[in-house]
Amino acid sequence: QKEVEQDPGPLSVPEGAIVSLNCTYSNSAFQYFMWYRQYSRKGPELLMYTYSSGNKEDGRFTAQVDKSSKYISLFIRDSQPSDSATYLCAFIIQGAQKLVFGQGTRLTINP
């Protein structure tokens, strides 16, 4: 079983739609949960960072963590063409400093 499972997509939705991106994980030692956005030919940039179960909102983005089910989600409301990118879930084991990434989901928002 892979440590992190993320649907690679591609996912294509119309502008204004709500987007749901998901990852499952198997390592119970993961304590910090992140979403990175990566535009083509750029490095990943941090979007959301949380360490507890529940929801965290930042503008049009909501990160959701369910530790009991080992499942994290990123929701994008009122999606814009500028949201077109690859979205990577990432995890850190408490006490360690390295990121474990999912495969990434390629998202396209069509005008």
Partner 1 sequence: EAGVAQSPRYKIIEKRQSVAFWCNPISGHATLYWYQQILGQGPKLLIQFQNNGVVDDSQLPKDRFSAERLKGVDSTLKIQPAKLEDSAVYLCASRLPPGGAQFFGPGTRLTVL
Footprint of partner 1 on this chain (CB under 8 A)?
4, 6, 8, 34, 41-46, 49, 88, 90, 97-99, 101-104
Shortest spacing between CB 15 and partner 1, in angstroms: 25
Shortest spacing between CB 44 and partner 1, in angstroms: 5
Shortest spacing between CB 104 and partner 1, in angstroms: 5
Helix/strand/coil (H/E/C) assignment for every residue in 51-88: CCCEEEEECCEEEEEECCCCEEEEEECCCCHHHCEEEE
Nearer to partner 1, 42 or 77 (CB): 42
Contact by Cβ (8 Å): 84, 21: no
Nearer to partner 1, 13 or 93 (CB): 93
Contact by Cβ (8 Å): 93, 30: yes
What single-letter amino acid sits at 63? A
